[in-house]
Amino acid sequence: MATRPLLLIAATAALSLAAPSFAQQAAGGQAVMFGADLFEYITDGFSLKGRAEVMQGDNRLRANAITGHTTNNELTRVEATGDVYFVTPDQTIHGQSAVYTLTNDTVVVTGNVILTQGKNVMTGSRLTYNTRTQAARMEGSPRGAAGNRVQGVFYPSGSGNPG
């Protein structure tokens, strides 16, 4: 899955205005496009607000706002908030917020998470995904909250499901 390159590119694309060589290293050879109603270069990174999206190849990260944080000119964390979508050719993840921590290759999506792959669907309140190991964990809401269980529907690969 190309989660890490896309999120890294999201940040480096915006940071390329200040550090073009860093952006070229992370781009992996594919063009990176980003758009938003507002772009800001901030002290510890960048901010995209209003219909924020970052695209690389067939991958897209879209949210109301996307913020990248740096430490010593190194991207360390990317946060997406408000109606977050991460879309690849194989799957779509939707939630209300997402945080990608580069130091441990972990993406955490929270808030009514819906993960789809082909016809397969899984829902929960929190999805933790390691982009390096591809380990994933979906959690339900805390006890007592509405819809507190993880739920899923999976189709056997022989049933016409592409994934």
The C-alpha atoms of residue 91 and residue 93 are separated, in whole angstroms, by: 7
126 compared with 3, residue with greater pLDDT: 126
Cβ 108 vs Cβ 116: under 8 Å = no
What's the confidence (pLDDT) of residue 60?
87
Indicate whether 131 pLDDT > 80: no
The C-alpha atoms of residue 28 and residue 31 are separated, in whole angstroms, by: 9
Helix, strand and coil percent figures for the chain, each rounded to 5: 15, 55, 30
What's the confidence (pLDDT) of residue 76?
84
What's the confidence (pLDDT) of residue 104?
87
DSSP label of 22: H
Q: Which CATH class is domain 3-144?
A: mainly beta
136 compared with 142, residue with greater pLDDT: 136
141 compared with 35, residue with greater pLDDT: 35
Cβ 10 vs Cβ 27: under 8 Å = no
**Whole-structure pTM value:** 0.75
What is the pLDDT confidence band of residue 100, given thresholds at 50, 70 and 90? confident
Mean pLDDT of 93-115: 91
What tens digit of pLDDT does each residue of 7-44 get?
444 444 433 333 332 333 343 557 767 899 999 998 88
Cβ 32 vs Cβ 56: under 8 Å = yes
Arithmetic mean of pLDDT over the chain: 78
Indicate whether 148 pLDDT > 80: no
